[in-house]
Amino acid sequence: MEKIFNNTQVAFALKSDTELDRAYFLFKMIDNQPLVRIGTAVTNFAIKANLPVEGLIRATVFDHFCGGVNENDCLSVVDKMYTKGVSSVLDYSVEGKEEEEQFDAALEMTLKTIEFAKERQAIPFAVFKPTGLGRLDLYEKIGEKQTLTPEEKAEWDRVVARFDFVCGEAHKKNVALLIDAEESWMQEAADELVTDMMRKYNKEKAIVFNTLQMYRWDRLVYLKRLHQEAIKEGFYIGMKLVRGAYMEKENERAIEKGYPTPICESKEATDKNYDAAVLYMIENLDMMSIFAGTHNEESSYTLMKLMLERGIKNNDDRIWFGQLYGMSDNISYNLAAHGYNVAKYLPFGPVKDVMPYLIRRAEENTSVAGQTSRELSMIKAERNRRKGK
């Protein structure tokens, strides 16, 4: 496969010299593990103590990884990226809420983003997180088949109703809807619910997309089983494939509670598992749509190669590549330049509510071997290219 991801001129065409310098400075900071640890602790404390740190956060991590504090803020970024063929997925990244009003607010926000997506070609998907619409502990209880109190039963009915409403609106408006995956101990209940939504709304094509975290060794078998159900019952499968963002938490909990970790035994095993799922979905594209959410260049090349070998058009509407805003522009923009479908998650929300997302990005860029150095080397190469070095 032709290697296209090293073209930094294409990757950073939208970044001014100053923006490039800021990105360089940011990734340099994130590269420093102790600094990220201290920075995270100090920031969390400062926010809780209501210290005026929002300006600082905005000027650094927030503006690099987020589109703004509300959905309208994001539109200028959406339009700008789309001039280069890169689409957006508006991601309301408020996390860890527990109250019914907050779930209803997240529901409203998701409906708004579905409406935005309906009106704009540059926004091909809407997205939400299961714990945005219901309590994590409740998903866990359902997954473990625990007996619910009447109050909990009513609470779960409301979660189901929220899912059904959002998916129904997406179906009515013909907007594909991604549903994120989270911790394994809440995921079983979410999977059942999302599969029900696929049964109901994916009769003509994939509108509802679940997410498979391929760092879990059981997910390929899960995908194959789901495929059999889909054949039997006659629905399309929409699936976002990711490696998974909660590895440390998963391993810690498994040790603490004394059960085998759901995570693959090594990074290589996760990589293999990811690529095997990509292959399986491409082999069954007649019934499946795939959103490959990854910053991994090899997995992206693997998918491109499979498409080429099978004579699948670069812009086949059943295949999307996805990256997060602020990361791996070399993949996103070069894919778009070659005519592939590509969308970046564009997170938004009030600064303090988006902090868990930002901390995950900072930690991921610190702990994931290679990600920061990849970003830094690309930025460095582009700075040198612009200086004529």
Ligand X SMILES: Cc1cc2nc3c(=O)[nH]c(=O)nc-3n(C[C@H](O)[C@H](O)[C@H](O)COP(=O)(O)OP(=O)(O)OC[C@H]3O[C@@H](n4cnc5c(N)ncnc54)[C@H](O)[C@@H]3O)c2cc1C
Residues near ligand X (CB under 6 A) are 180-181, 211, 213, 215, 242-247, 263-264, 266-267, 270, 293-296, 322-324, 345, 364, 368, 371
- Residue 389 C-beta: closest distance to ligand X, Å: 28
For residue 297, the minimal CB distance to ligand X (Å) is 8
Distances in Å between the alpha carbon of 336 and those of 120, 199, 252?
18, 32, 39
Structure tokens at 364: 């991921």
Of all residues in this chain, which one has the CB nearest to ligand X in the complex?
Answer: 293
The CB-based long-range contact list for 189-192 (8 Å cut-off, 24+ gap) reads 189/138, 189/139, 189/140, 189/142, 189/143, 190/130, 190/139, 191/222, 192/142
CB of 261 to ligand X, least distance (A): 9
Which of 235, 345 has the CB closer to ligand X? 345
| Rounded CA separation 388/94 (Å) | 42
Min dist. Cβ of residue 307 to ligand X (A): 18
State the burial class of residue 204 (Cβ atoms within 10 Å of its Cβ: 0-12, 13-18, 19+): exposed
Q: 100 or 376, CB closer to ligand X?
A: 376
Cβ proximity to ligand X: between 84 and 272 the closer is 272
- Residue with structure tokens 């340099």? 28
Query: Collapsing DSSP states into helix, strand and coil, what is residue 174?
Result: coil
Residue closer to ligand X (CB basis): 21 or 192: 192
Least distance from ligand X to the Cβ atom of residue 129, Å: 7
Query: Which two tokens mark 163?
Result: 């899912």
For the bound state, the minimum distance from the C-beta of residue 182 to ligand X, rounded and expressed in Å, comes to: 6
Q: Which residues on adjacent β-strands are paired with residue 289?
A: 238
Is 286 exposed, middle or buried (CB count within 10 Å of its CB: 0-12, 13-18, 19+)? exposed
Cβ-based nearer residue to ligand X, 54 or 363: 363
Residue 53 or 280 having the CB closest to ligand X: 280
